[in-house]
Structure 1
Amino acid sequence: MSLTRMFAVDSAPPEPAVAPERFKAVFRGHPAGVAVITLPGRPRPAGFTATSLVSLSLSPPLVSFAIAAAASSWPFVRDGSTAVAHLLTAGQEDVARRFVTSGIDRFAAPTRYRLLPGGEPVLAGVDTWLLLSLESLIPAGDHRLAIARVRHAAIGDDHRPLLYHDGTYRTLGA
């Protein structure tokens, strides 16, 4: 039985889709953690800012994130097998802005990074990150949902997350 039928109250036709601007307005009031996803690549790595990173399963340890199918980093996700999810903290708004900006080399100065043995880029100064193995890619409208297994977790001391809320980067109070 499909989810639509399972939860249908009556047989009335579905309502028209919510307008994109209204949909965005709803989520402007919902804060989200900010992450940067980086991927190996040649001649340079790829990466993007994501507010969609969520824990998915404890056993096995899985996370998910979404990426637009039109994004410049999508081919690296589609064709790759690994990634690093960096959880940004207070004071790292510049990193979030750099990796959300289109048309620039996100790994040029001032970005500093090192490569793990598998070629995955780890951003300098971001102390909490996850090494991921990409397991599934699921079409979801104009995006793709990536499901990834956590292979390694590095945990930093700063637990003041960078948040995105109402079109602005914010941090939690002390």
Structure 2
Amino acid sequence: MGLLDRVPPLGADAFRALMRRLAATVTVVTVPGSPPVGFTATSFTSVSLRPPLVSFCLDRGSSSWPTVERAAYVGVHLLADGQHEVARTFATSGIDRFAVHGAWRLGPYGVPLLDSPAAWLLCRVTRRVPAGDHAIVLAEPLQGQHDRGGAPLVYHMGGYSAVGPPSQRSAA
């Protein structure tokens, strides 16, 4: 028996405490429906350049999962510094998030598009992969737009902050 065989698995609370140290871009994922669905996610990442693919993760026990499980298209909105309330609104359960937020419009395929994010992508869902109590949703970006400046909103240690542009490095 090796040393690793005697180490107990990391518990959910310890894992959550460790992962709070990971700074993550704050995104809102929106999904067509009646009513539309939207939620705040910090698990968004690019996956592939050829073909272009992105992913986000969602708890399969969440109220948003049944709609995401059937969705053919989604919108992904990378939030900008100053959009803390947008992040909080779409992270709050038990409310009509789109009515509270108010600043959105219907885009192609009926996907709700939020006004004024740092960037947005309209994506076609290509695959859903079960992963523990979550699902990894893979999607192909079809359209997108970004603003020319500003800092992204990030989530770290249970709170929101911004990250500015990289500092200029002096030539050696």
**What's the TM-score, normalizing by structure 2?**
0.90
- Residue by residue over 1:7-36, the C-alpha shift from the partner in whole angstroms, topping out at 9 and shown as x without a partner, is xxx596474321111101111111000000
- Residue by residue over 1:114-155, the C-alpha shift from the partner in whole angstroms, topping out at 9 and shown as x without a partner, is 111310000112251000100110110110000000111111
The answer to whether the 8 Å contact 2:55/2:138 transfers is yes
Q: Does 2:58 align with 1:71?
A: no
Cα displacement (A) at 1:71: 0.9
Q: How many residues align?
A: 165
User: In structure 2, the residue corresponding to 1:17 is in which secondary structure?
Assistant: coil
Identity score, percent: 43
User: In structure 2, the residue corresponding to 1:109 is in which secondary structure?
Assistant: helix
Question: In the alignment, which residue of structure 1 is the partner of 2:15?
Answer: 23
Question: In the alignment, which residue of structure 2 is the partner of 1:7?
Answer: none
Q: Which of the residues 56, 59, 71 maps onto 1:80? A: 71
1:24-63 counterparts in 2 under 5 A? 24-42=16-34, 44-63=35-54
The answer to whether the 8 Å contact 1:89/1:158 transfers is no
Q: List gaps (5 residues or longer) in structure 1.
A: 1-9
Distance 1:14 1:118, change over 3 A: farther
Cα displacement (A) at 1:76: 1.2
The answer to whether the 8 Å contact 1:84/1:131 transfers is yes
CA distance, structure 2, for counterparts of residue 14 and residue 146 of structure 1: 34
CA distance, structure 1, for counterparts of residue 44 and residue 6 of structure 2: 30
CA distance, structure 2, for counterparts of residue 162 and residue 113 of structure 1: 19
Structure 1 segments, 4+ long, off by >6 Å, are: none
